[in-house]
Amino acid sequence: GLLMALDVPQERGLGHLDQRYLDGLDVCRFPLLPFLQPLPLDWMYLLYTIMFLGALGIMLGCCYRLSCVAFLCPYWYLLLLDKTSWNNHSYLYGLLGFQLALLGADRYGSVDGLFRPHKRNAHVPLWNYALLRAQVGVPVSETPPAPPRDAQHPQPPLTVPPQVLVLSEELTSRLVVHGGGLVLDLSAGFLLFFDATRPLALVFVTYFHCMNSQLFSIGMFSYTMLATNGLFCRPEWPRGLLARCPRWLRARLPPDCLYGGRGPRGGLRPRQHLAAAFTILYVLEQLFLPYSHFITQGYNNWTNGLYGYSWDMMVHSRFHQHVKITYRDGLTGEVGYLKPGAFTQSRRWRDHADMLKQYSACLSRLLPRYNISEPQIYFDVWVSINERFQQRLVDPRVDLVRAPWSPWTPTPWLLPLLVDLSPWRQQLQELEAQLDGHTDTVFIADFPGLYLENFVSEDLGNTSLRVLRGKVLVELVEQQQNHSLQEGEGMQLPAGQYHKVHTVSLEPSCYMYLYVNTTALQLERNLTQLRELRERVRNGTEQSPLPPELRPILGEPPPAGVPLDPVVSLFLRRERREQRRERESSLAQRLRRFLRRKFFLFRR
């Protein structure tokens, strides 16, 4: 209850509610159920207030059942209202809230117990614990950690000096991070269950959740999992804890509890039979859901499943290289382009066919206000999953406004993941390792009969294309020239112009772009020269006087009437930023910034 009360202003969005649900805002939303719509802003604030008060009531055990309902109903409404906010732990919070509404969690140290003697220290059935233990254990035991090369979820790099590492950084990532995570995920639930292994499991699980709270931005999840550790201990563990408290403190704490006592005598009642049946069916349902993707096939993309109940946490990484939205006027045939993400507040629609369908339907309703009649919407989404080639997610030739989609059948306009090219990942890494620090590369795979239209920025003065597999036809639009390239061949691409790469082979083509940002490279060279010049002036090796426009690099004010050079201005800004980062790198400064951010969020 406490953690959910802290979660409401943060991840649930109360702190920026007016930005998400402002009345009259033209925004495309993505509810799970099409009939769900947000309430007016004032009513949304009231709904959040009810959810917040419900969380406080759960924490205090005050009007417990009513508080659970007050928290649960708004929570699930908000979760189903916006699929873009779905994740594993938000789904887990909703399940735990549903369970708490059925359990007797207000039997000890609760406000209800003060006014209702029949609840005070009343017996808590074992199935209450079994249900919560199973719910916490299922996500942990069914979370499949990715292979080391696949799990590239953004995280801070290892900062241990090389001379301290016993293993190389690659082996540390493979064995410690991923191998250790695999062993912990698959064994934690069982180790916590048995008395002999529980102390060791508590140490590792506590360390694991504390580490996650610092590495990842996952809200209250790490702290919620820490709070569930007590569920796996013996029910009478609070008594042992209270017995070690000073006598003056024990007198001010709630009276002793009767956890672990005997149930009602005289045999089992129908209510106990129903509770046992519900517990078994609920656990079986939770075990089945992660493997139920053959039912909801419309939500399957390159990875199976809806948005949370598979517990596939941090398994897949995606990198989007190119997203293009094309509209066509159904009456005049006029073609135009939309900024990716127009009329949305999230970018998650790029990875899900059902959201793309909802987005296109929303755009078809909004674009007529801008004199576009009967709009047709086409998406061209290029994405790399787990360091594979960049490839298309959906067919760019299909008008998604009129394209079919059903939650129960596969999506016909979803292009398959080219898993046959997965062995190329090792070769792609080797090719990248051969490049110098100023050259970047993009690896592309495309289907026969399709083409990629691309524009080479003038900043990328040295851009080339090289075919790795198949056959392509490179069309230089402005020059009206075509160049046929086969495996192993390449060509230079002109900067500041459009070109199209057609796949003309019978199998998917694979090719790579090599490019150098000459503008950024020259800027870095200029900044390096300024840094070296300042060092020479300071140590006395520079004999010639500095020109007036460069005097500010020594901390002097610029001369009157002399404009500040843009490169010098950027150099000074970088220096100030580095100095500020050094000053604020201490633990006390980081804690101060953290508390300051939270203060302003909660105050708002």
Output the DSSP codes for 370-421.
GT--S-EEEEEEEEEETT--BEESB-TTS-TTTS---TTS--TTBPPP-GGG
Burial of 497 per CB tally in 10 Å (0-12, 13-18, 19+): middle
- Does 264 fall in a domain? no
* 557 CA to centre of own chain: 45
- Phi, psi of 245, deg, nearest 5: -80, 155
355, 299, 387, 147 alpha-carbon torsion, rounded to 10°: 140
Q: What is the side-by-side order of every strand in the sheet holding 439-446?
A: 439-446, 509-516, 462-469, 490-493
- Does 260 fall in a domain? no
Q: Are residues 487 and 567 in the same domain?
A: no
Confidence of residue 160 (pLDDT cuts 50, 70, 90): very low
What angle is formed at CA 376 by the lines to CA 375 and CA 381, rounded to 5 degrees? 130
Q: Are residues 2 and 119 in the same domain?
A: yes
- How much is the average pLDDT of 151-160? 38
Q: Are residues 91 and 9 in the same domain?
A: yes
Q: Are residues 312 and 400 in the same domain?
A: yes
Name the more confident of 382 and 208: 382
Confidence of residue 266 (pLDDT cuts 50, 70, 90): low
- Does 578 fall in a domain? yes
Full domain range(s) for residue 470: 423-516
pTM comes to: 0.84
Q: Are residues 504 and 456 in the same domain?
A: yes
- Does 41 fall in a domain? yes
pLDDT by residue (tens digit) across 16-52? 999 899 988 899 999 999 899 999 999 999 999 999 9
Highest mean pLDDT among 114-123, 505-514, 543-552: 505-514
- For residue 325, the SS3 value is strand
Look at residues 225, 254, 283 and tell me which one is the last residue of a structural domain.
254
540 Cβ neighbours under 8 A, 6+ residues apart: none
Per-residue 3-state assignment (H helix, E strand, C coil) for 118-166: CCCCCCCCHHHHHHHHHHHHHHHHCCCCCCCCCCCCCCCCCCCCCCCCC
d(CA 75, CA 90): 9
pLDDT by residue (tens digit) across 196-247? 999 999 999 998 888 888 878 888 999 999 999 988 888 878 777 877 888 7
- How much is the average pLDDT of 154-171? 51
Convert 115-137 to b/e letters by CB count within 10 Å (16 or more is b): eeeebbbbebbebbbbbbbbbbb
Which stretch of DSSP H or E encloses residue 361? helix 353-366
In angstroms, what CA-CA distances link 133 with 2, 76, 145, 181, 263? 20, 22, 21, 20, 20
Look at residues 417, 448, 472 and tell me which one is the last residue of a structural domain.
417
d(CA 492, CA 314): 38
Whose structure tokens read 């694991």? 208
Look at residues 195, 224, 254 and tell me which one is the last residue of a structural domain.
254
Beta bridge partners of 464: 492, 514
Least confident of 21-25, 179-183, 278-282, 422-426: 179-183
- Closest-CA residue to 421 (of 470, 388, 382): 388
* pLDDT score at 515: 87
Q: Are residues 494 and 536 in the same domain?
A: no
Q: Are residues 75 and 169 in the same domain?
A: no
- How much is the average pLDDT of 285-291? 87
Domains identified in the chain, total number: 5
pLDDT by residue (tens digit) across 428-482? 888 888 877 778 889 999 999 999 999 998 888 789 999 999 999 999 999 999 9
- Does 167 fall in a domain? yes
* pLDDT score at 71: 97
- For residue 73, the SS3 value is helix
Give me the chain's average pLDDT, please.
85
pLDDT at residue 590 is higher than 60: yes
d(CA 312, CA 153): 12
Beta carbons of 313 and 88 less than 8 angstroms apart: yes
Q: Are residues 429 and 410 in the same domain?
A: no
* pLDDT score at 357: 96
* pLDDT score at 306: 64
pLDDT at residue 154 is higher than 50: no
Q: How many CB atoms are located within 10 Å of the residue 231 CB?
A: 17
- Does 477 fall in a domain? yes
pLDDT at residue 287 is higher than 90: no
What angle is formed at CA 558 by the lines to CA 554 and CA 559, rounded to 5 degrees? 125
pLDDT above 70 as % of the chain? 91
- Phi, psi of 135, deg, nearest 5: -65, -40
Q: Are residues 367 and 409 in the same domain?
A: yes
What angle is formed at CA 413 by the lines to CA 410 and CA 415, rounded to 5 degrees? 90
Name the more confident of 179 and 97: 97
Q: Name the residue type at position 84.
A: T
Q: Are residues 388 and 480 in the same domain?
A: no
* pLDDT score at 146: 42
pLDDT at residue 158 is higher than 50: no
Q: Name the residue type at position 145.
A: P
pLDDT by residue (tens digit) across 62-110? 999 999 999 999 999 999 999 998 888 899 999 999 999 999 888 888 8
Q: Are residues 60 and 98 in the same domain?
A: yes
pLDDT at residue 258 is higher than 60: no
H helix runs in 514-565, sequence order: 518-539
- Does 309 fall in a domain? yes
Highest mean pLDDT among 127-131, 249-253, 254-258, 398-402: 398-402
- Closest-CA residue to 553 (of 542, 561, 583): 542
pLDDT at residue 509 is higher than 90: yes
- Does 350 fall in a domain? yes
Q: Are residues 233 and 322 in the same domain?
A: no
Least confident of 304-313, 442-451, 592-601: 304-313
Q: What is the side-by-side order of every strand in the sheet holding 376-385?
A: 335-338, 318-328, 376-385, 391-392
